[in-house]
């Protein structure tokens, strides 16, 4: 009754191999790391959703990343202080400080290139391009014409600001918000452009005959339309005819609507970006 055939033993052994404590320990030891945790569970916990791509692929520790942000901030401060007349005599200090900061930027860029999983992907990304532009020896152009030097200083200020912005989580969140609101923002910009062109051309034709020195061309009308729609109102150019004043009133209310619509679109986009960061 309890006899099992050889075929049954072979089938049972093939499908359900005998296990004992030593066999279990060997199997577990092969799949375990030094801490006794299976290899599938020892993987690094993924980064928090919503974290900027820079931190996910950064070869530096969090403390080093903060140090880099401090250096970028110091670079911006240095570029502001060196324009003050009271510090004009400290040109040597500013020069060598700029050289030191440029050297740190160079080291950072080389490390990111060497440690990147795909250096081409990093090199041609926005952050990679900004990092490359930041390591250019702009201070080497001090022997050129002053206008060239001033242009390179403006370029350096732009690159430094972009370098700081590319490593700020708030800017990454704002970029996601712009992606969420791309269609709505595009429609708003298109509508605003139509309003600017219509108001600019209309104001030129209404005011040119009365104020030829102020509304000398359509460009003056477009300039007036831009500063009116943005509710800036410099006061350097304004209509004096009845038709021009009516058009200006309509443009003012249109400007309020444009600003309000832009604020509403960005508020909804930022809310969606914040919700997208939440796990689950």
> By mean pLDDT, which of 14-28, 159-173, 235-249 is the weakest?
14-28
pLDDT at 80: 79
87 pLDDT tier (thresholds 50, 70, 90): confident
99 pLDDT tier (thresholds 50, 70, 90): confident
Q: Which stretches within the chain are classed as H helix?
A: 6-15, 21-30, 53-57, 62-81, 91-115, 119-123, 126-134, 146-165, 169-180, 182-207, 218-229, 242-277
C-beta separation of 71 from 60 below 8 A = no
168 pLDDT tier (thresholds 50, 70, 90): low
Q: Which residues are CB-neighbours of 262 under 8 A, at least 6 positions away?
A: 185, 188
Domains and CATH numbers, the chain: 6-41 (no CATH), 58-167 (1.20.120.350), 179-277 (1.10.287.70)
154 pLDDT tier (thresholds 50, 70, 90): low
Tell me the pLDDT tens digit for each residue of 108-123.
888 888 888 888 888 8
> Measured between alpha carbons, how far is 161 from 159 in angstroms, rounded to an integer?
5
- Interior CA angle at 52 toward 49 and 118, to 5°? 105
pLDDT at 125: 82
pLDDT at 137: 58
* pLDDT > 90 in the chain, percent: 20
Quick check: helix, strand or coil at residue 277? helix
Over residues 123-140, the mean pLDDT reads 74
C-beta separation of 227 from 150 below 8 A = no
Q: Burial, 251: exposed, middle or buried (Cβ in 10 Å; 0-12, 13-18, 19+)?
A: buried
> By mean pLDDT, which of 5-14, 55-64, 121-130 is the weakest?
5-14
Of 182 and 59, more confident: 182
C-beta separation of 178 from 269 below 8 A = yes
pTM value > 0.85: no
C-beta separation of 196 from 222 below 8 A = yes
pLDDT at 38: 43
41 pLDDT tier (thresholds 50, 70, 90): very low
184 phi and psi, to 5 degrees? -65, -40
pLDDT at 249: 94
> By mean pLDDT, which of 48-52, 84-88, 125-129 is the weakest?
48-52
Over residues 8-37, the mean pLDDT reads 46
């Amino acid at each position: 009754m309890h006899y099992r055939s050889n075929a049954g033993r072979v089938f049972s052994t093939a499908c359900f191999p005998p296990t004992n404590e030593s066999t279990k320990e060997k199997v577990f030891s092969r799949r375990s790391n030094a801490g006794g945790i299976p290899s599938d569970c020892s993987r690094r916990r993924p980064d928090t959703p919503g974290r900027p791509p820079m931190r996910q692929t950064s070869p530096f520790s969090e403390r080093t990343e903060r140090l880099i942000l401090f250096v970028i901030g110091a670079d911006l401060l240095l570029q502001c202080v060196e324009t003050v007349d009271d510090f004009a005599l400290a040109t040597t200090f500013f020069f060598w400080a700029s050289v030191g900061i440029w050297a740190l930027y160079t080291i950072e860029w080389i490390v990111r290139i060497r440690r990147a999983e795909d250096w081409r992907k990093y090199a041609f990304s926005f952050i990679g391009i900004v990092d490359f532009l930041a390591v250019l020896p702009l201070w080497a152009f001090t022997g050129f014409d002053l206008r060239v030097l001033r242009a390179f200083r403006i370029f350096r200020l732009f690159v430094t600001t972009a370098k700081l912005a590319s490593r700020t989580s708030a800017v990454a969140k704002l970029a996601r918000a712009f992606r969420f609101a791309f269609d709505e923002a595009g429609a708003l910009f298109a509508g605003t452009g139509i309003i600017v062109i219509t108001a600019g051309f209309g104001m030129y034709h209404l005011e040119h005959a009365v104020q030829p020195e102020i509304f000398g061309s359509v460009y003056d009308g477009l300039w007036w339309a831009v500063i009116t729609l943005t509710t800036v109102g410099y006061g350097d150019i304004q209509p004096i005819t009845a038709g021009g004043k009516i058009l200006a009133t309509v443009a003012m209310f249109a400007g309020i609507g444009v600003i309000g619509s832009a604020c509403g679109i960005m508020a909804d986009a930022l809310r969606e970006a914040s919700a997208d960061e939440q796990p689950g």
